[in-house]
Amino acid sequence: MLEEPRHPRIIAAFWKATLRNPHVSLIARLLVGVVFIWSAGGKIAYPEEFARLMDAYGVLPTSVTPGVAVLVTWAELLLGAFLVLGVATRLTAVAASTLLAIFLAAMSLMVVQGKSVDCGCFVGIVQETVGPWTLARDTFLLVVALVAVMSTSHRWSADSLLGLGRRRLVRSVALASATGALVLAIGLFFGASVPKMPAEAPPSATAPASQAGPAGRPEGGWRLGPPNAPVVITEFSDFQCPACQATSPILEKLVEDFRGQVALVYRHFPLPQHQDAVPAAEAAEAAGEQGKFWEMHDLIFADQERMSLADLRARAVRLRLDTKRFDEALLSGRTRAQVAADYNEGRRVGVRYTPYILVNGEVFADHSYNGLRAKIERELKK
């Protein structure tokens, strides 16, 4: 008879031994629990910001997003506390795994659709755009949570200390009450200790409309193409957004390919997680006052790694702008007011991510050349 291969048996034995090891269970639940508590802390401190970031994913109706954001926040905190204490460990780990799987699915959808959105994972603590790193990190946490689900030994946990029989019901209720108090204390602690979000990003939402409109800027945004084009593509964009960088040449090529029939209108929508997006947008506005908006637009997108004020000024020199006028425009507040006006208009029409593209006023999610070309051809046939 053929002997069964030993390697699978060795791996299976190792896996069973790992799941029986109480140290593994302890490390798994502590790791996931602490991350959940830390993540929930920022969300408790900035509930409106978390609701806005969740809304940017576009997977829920805006009307229900604030309520769901509150539920997610407190679910994270309760699950984190229960994991740390070891309360209903397996059930709690299952719930945590489910929540992580939902997070992963939402982030994966953003990556597939090419949308640049803030992860919203650690609001007020870390600003990070959804990408390979956030996907890898949450995948790792999901694996760790599943280890906690499958572990067969929870020696150092409240479950083990109190037992699971009916006789321990009173102690279990007492433990649940203590856990609730702990959750409240942690929430209050984080609400008081997490640093506030900077006021400069995004641009001030209180900029009066009368301040908008620097000299030379067309009403409604910077236009590339004829003023009477039958098809108008409006793009809300962020100079620090990788997806916007990739989409920019596609849009410009479409204007060229459909010469006289398509116009592109550019409007600013700097995302809060992109700290250099507002200064870059202001620099483009300042260049626009001297008739060089699109040239500055292209230079900024050509090198998103160099976005300091010195780098932006170097681009102005390269374009042979009057640097005194360029600096004056930035210092005057005109450029910031215009960026704020664009941002506020974006919020008004429902922009939740970048690039956000409308074709003749209709939101269009397929930002590929072929997809946009087909849409333009359909519009021209109307």
DSSP per-residue letters across 89-130: HHHHHHHHHHHHHHHHHHHHHHHHHT-B-B--SSTTT---BS
- What span, in angstroms and rounded, lies between the C-alpha atoms of 44 and 72? 10
Average pLDDT over the chain, rounded to an integer: 80
Class of domain 209-381: alpha beta
**What is the average pLDDT across 325-346?**
92
Amino acid 9: pLDDT: 66
pLDDT band at 17 (very low <50, low <70, confident <90, very high): low
Give the global pTM. Answer: 0.56
Amino acid 298: pLDDT: 95
pLDDT at 70 over 70: yes
Q: Are 237 and 269 in contact (CB under 8 A)?
A: yes
For residue 254, CA distances in Å to 208, 233, 300, 370 come to: 34, 10, 20, 10
pLDDT at 211 over 70: no
pLDDT band at 297 (very low <50, low <70, confident <90, very high): very high
CA-atom Rg of the chain in angstroms: 26
Nearest to 66 by CA among 79, 75, 53: 53
Amino acid 198: pLDDT: 34
CB atoms within 10 A of CB 324: 8
Q: Are 197 and 43 in contact (CB under 8 A)?
A: no
- Sheet containing strand 222-224, strands side by side: 222-224, 262-268, 231-237, 356-359, 362-363
pLDDT in tens, 122-135: 876 776 778 888 99
Amino acid 352: pLDDT: 79
pLDDT at 171 over 60: no
* Of residues 186 and 337, more confidently modeled: 337
- What span, in angstroms and rounded, lies between the C-alpha atoms of 346 and 357? 11
pLDDT band at 318 (very low <50, low <70, confident <90, very high): very high
Six-digit token pair at 28? 């798994």
**What is the average pLDDT across 75-90?**
88
pLDDT at 191 over 90: no
Amino acid 110: pLDDT: 86
Domain boundaries, the chain: 6-193, 209-381
CB atoms within 10 A of CB 163: 11
Residue tagged 């870059």 (tokens): 280
Provide CB contacts within 8 A for 50, sequence distance 6+: 42, 43, 69, 73, 120, 123
**What is the average pLDDT across 149-178?**
59
pLDDT at 238 over 90: yes
pLDDT band at 180 (very low <50, low <70, confident <90, very high): low
Provide CB contacts within 8 A for 349, sequence distance 6+: 358
Q: Please write down the long-range contacts of 56-59, taking CB distance under 8 Å and 24 or more positions apart.
A: 56/117, 56/118, 56/120, 56/352, 56/353, 57/106, 57/109, 57/110, 57/117, 57/120, 57/352, 57/353, 58/115, 58/352, 58/353, 59/106, 59/109
pLDDT at 153 over 70: no
Q: How far apart are the first and last CA of the chain?
A: 75
Amino acid 135: pLDDT: 92
Q: How many residues does the chain have?
A: 382
Range name among 53-57, 289-293, 345-349 with the lowest pLDDT average: 53-57
Q: What percent of the chain has pLDDT over 90?
A: 41
**What is the average pLDDT across 246-275?**
93
Note the helical H segments in the chain.
6-20, 22-45, 47-56, 65-85, 89-113, 132-150, 158-162, 169-193, 242-257, 277-288, 293-302, 309-318, 323-332, 334-349, 369-381
Q: Are 282 and 335 in contact (CB under 8 A)?
A: yes
